[in-house]
Structure 1
Amino acid sequence: MSTLARIAGWLRPAARRLPESLKRPLRRWYYARAATPRMEDPAYLARLAEETSIFAGQEEVHDLPPIFHYWSNRYLRPQLEAFGFSNPDEFFVHYLAAAHADARAARRPARFASLGCGNCDTEVRVATLLVARGITDFTIDCVDINEAMLARGRQLAAEAGVSAQIAAAKGDFNDWRAPARYDAVIANQSLHHVVNLEGLFATIDAALHPEGRFVTSDMIGRNGHMRWPEAMAIVHEYWRELPREYRWNVQLRRHEERHEYWDCSIAGFEGIRAQDILPLLLARFEFELFIGYGNLVDPFIDRSFGPHFDANAAWDRDFIDRVHARDEAEMLAGRITPTHMMAVLRRRPYDGPRLHREGLPAHACVHAPVA
């Protein structure tokens, strides 16, 4: 363990009692010095090994229960369609096609990078959709720490006929060194695994062409994917309506009579700095697009409790409808903040379009300091 990490461990119990107005600058100071992990640090290596082990055997990383798809098709899809796409794959295709057009105007083949690509399943689907549009002169450098997942990605690319467009290479995004300039860098549900967000965002900024785009879909709620207190209080209101059998946590294998906090960042890097993503993006980039969504509904449609809901049952659908309506009302009133985003970032200076859901620009979706 590094000296700085040992000092942080000694001071952490006292630091927890400080007001948030003091904790936030201390946290920024610490991460500015410690965010870039020492590759030989046993603590970092242990987390890295755990992270690799968690995902090595996962062929379906983004699988979600049917009730999630009920909610997303009924509510999220229309929100996305207002911006010209219907789902995350189309989102990436839409903006990579625009980046490709910029590259063609500059008389160069387009080069993209995808950070934390896992099995490359999203990248293979996106490449296939681009090729179907007649866009073939591009490469996606797919970067992930997990060689087992990259091997699956190479196989997927070969089966889909896009091996010429997919270049999978092992790399740690906590210490990424861009090998080239890029027309776009994408990150699909990977930023919430990053410790060194400051370093990664600086590297992406420097690696993009002047007109390049950073395109991401990710989680921006509280660290460890926990609810902030004001959201948890509302979740508990709805929790009381759930039948007893719906309160069984499928992932943790425990009954939760009252929904409990669970900090999943203790295992690997899951959600380790989720709450820092949006503030750090605002500090470095300009938003061409920001779509913030979801919060209260998350526990009821995720992998822990979502499997209990029947997407074809009237009570279940009505329950999700009511939670979603409350979610939207509370976010628009500024009483809670979104836990998810789709965003397109541009290098500064930028004077192009700035799109967002009405009432939910990026700066309004940063959670206020908590005392």
Structure 2
Amino acid sequence: MQGVEWALERGLSGHGADYAERLAAERGTFAEQEDVHGNLPPSAHRWSARHMVPKLHELGVESIGSLIVGEIRSRAREAAEHGRDAVVLSLGSGNGDQELSWLETLAADGVHNVRVRLLEINHDMQERAADAAGRLGFADRIEHVETDFNTWKADTEHDVVVAFQVLHHVLDLEHLYGQLREGLRSDGVLVVHDMIGRNGHRRWPEALEVIERIWATLPPELRRNSITGAIDEQFDDIDCAVDGFEGIRAQDVLPVLLEYLHPSFFLALGNVIDPFVDRVYGHNFDMDDERHRALIDDIGVLDDSLLDLGVVTPTRLTALFHPTPRTLRAYRGRTPQRCVRRTDVVDPAGRVSFHPAASDPQRLVRGSGLAVGRCNGVLHDRWVGRGATLPLRTTAEVDTVELEFWVPDWMPEQGTLTVLVDDTQVAALPVEHGLLHRTVPVALAAHTTAELTLRADWWVNPHAAGLGEDRRTLSYVLNGVTLR
């Protein structure tokens, strides 16, 4: 698991030698915060209204709040049939403001058999939650669990567990998820609204490249850092997990969760848009300024396109998880597996790559290697035009590359297929009609990257040549590339 690797890489024993210091920093950060989820810039609300809310609506959900309250309401009604309270656990509940608002909404609907457990390590926040519960008349509906969710043990069954912007603060995800699985009723639900991007909320390389290109076009007033007050000439990709727990294992939140629980509702979004709607730079954008609104809208559209193409992976998640498998309702093609950012393969530029299935959906590259970047020039049905480029990563030592391709009998010409590795020619293969197998000697060390290029000196446009309706420039069908 990625989390285990994370710990081993840092030589951590238990929760690590610096755990106490991080815990103290976390407590200090939030002790005086009375508005934990507020102070979002108007640009964030603009993006949310145009790019998150419509996706929720498409999935049949009005808002994040209605999703949470709806899950509690339905289970409270079921619990009432058995003469009991529905038990709700809120992880990292802070000042309890959201939890008390759930109780107010439910009470207005006539639902009173709900008991909310506030799991929060910060004593000051627990006291503020207790005071607010007393003022609102919900003191008897609230239970305070003052403990660390990295060591918490499930001590009762829960109908609903809510993790609202808290899982990215958890160091021991495996422990917490295991306890949640044990502590959920068989028909219970975990509601997640959280961050799932890179650790420390940093940008993955493929996203950083896009952000830096946008950054270079921004005027100085939109590059002001609200923390330092300086104009950042370059985007400051800070690691928020250096001292505390902010984003400490954000990239593991989703993949590890999938090992413990099963999703039924899944909406993943956000990535490139994040720096432009966060608290560091987001306040620079004036939503009364038409140009600023248009810029946020355009970046939001670009972000969605990059996500749907698989160029980047999501950084935000709203989802429901259960102890047993359920029918999945996901936003279009953004399935859980597709939204996990792989960290175990590298592309030719030396950056961590995307999921191999996104790079090589047809699984053309086989044997002792895989494609770790876009296979340019290979069409969806494996037809290739004049040239194709396949970025490869070897998994073992390679001494030959086997090519399998097909040249149909109706192809009017054949010629030579030139094979290059990292722009150096390694073979010139004569081609005839039919299914062809060619073996090319190529020496590649294990665990290295290389770029395989195939260049054909023959081609035809079937439509122009009267050979069919296909209007593409075609040379052959590439069935596979095997590294031996």
2:26 aligns with one of 51, 56, 74: 51
3-state secondary structure, aligned to 1:174? coil
3-state secondary structure, aligned to 2:117? strand
Residue identity in the other structure for 2:92: G
For 1:309-364, what per-residue CA distance to the aligned partner results, in whole angstroms no more than 9, with x for missing partners? 1111100010011101111111011111110001110002x2x3311100101111
3-state secondary structure, aligned to 1:126? helix
2:197 aligns with one of 215, 221, 225: 221
- Residue 134 of structure 1 deviates from its aligned partner by 1.2
- Residue 36 of structure 1 deviates from its aligned partner by 4.8
Counterpart in the other structure of 2:339:
365
Distance in 2 of aligned mates of 1:81 and 1:303: 26
- Residue 106 of structure 1 deviates from its aligned partner by 4.5
Residues 218 and 252 of structure 1: CA distance in aligned 2, closer, same or farther (over 3 Å): farther
Residue identity in the other structure for 2:37: H
RMSD: 2.1
- Residue 24 of structure 1 deviates from its aligned partner by 4.8
- Which structure is larger by alpha-carbon Rg, 1 or 2? 2
- Residue 251 of structure 1 deviates from its aligned partner by 2.3
Counterpart in the other structure of 2:461:
none
TM-score where L is the length of structure 1: 0.88
Residue identity in the other structure for 1:171: T
Counterpart in the other structure of 1:13:
none
- Residue 293 of structure 1 deviates from its aligned partner by 1.1
Query: Which protein has greater RCO, CA pairs closer than 8 Å, 6+ apart?
Result: 1
Is contact 2:90-2:118 (8 Å) kept?
Answer: yes
Stretches of structure 2 that go unaligned for 5 or more consecutive residues are 347-484
2:8 aligns with one of 17, 21, 30: 30
Distance in 1 of aligned mates of 2:147 and 2:36: 19
Residues 102 and 334 of structure 1: CA distance in aligned 2, closer, same or farther (over 3 Å): farther
Q: Aligned residues: percent identity?
A: 35
2:295 aligns with one of 319, 326, 331: 319
Stretches of structure 1 that go unaligned for 5 or more consecutive residues are 1-22
Select the structure that is richer in helix: 1
Is contact 1:85-1:94 (8 Å) kept?
Answer: no
3-state secondary structure, aligned to 2:266? strand
Residues 34 and 211 of structure 1: CA distance in aligned 2, closer, same or farther (over 3 Å): farther
Residue correspondences, number: 344
Is contact 1:35-1:198 (8 Å) kept?
Answer: no
1:67 aligns with one of 37, 40, 43: 43
3-state secondary structure, aligned to 1:283? coil
- Residue 157 of structure 1 deviates from its aligned partner by 2.0
Distance in 1 of aligned mates of 2:146 and 2:3: 34
Distance in 2 of aligned mates of 1:89 and 1:119: 17
Distance in 1 of aligned mates of 2:142 and 2:282: 34
- Residue 107 of structure 1 deviates from its aligned partner by 4.2
Residues 284 and 242 of structure 1: CA distance in aligned 2, closer, same or farther (over 3 Å): same
TM-score where L is the length of structure 2: 0.68
Distance in 1 of aligned mates of 2:73 and 2:63: 15
Select the structure that is richer in strand: 2
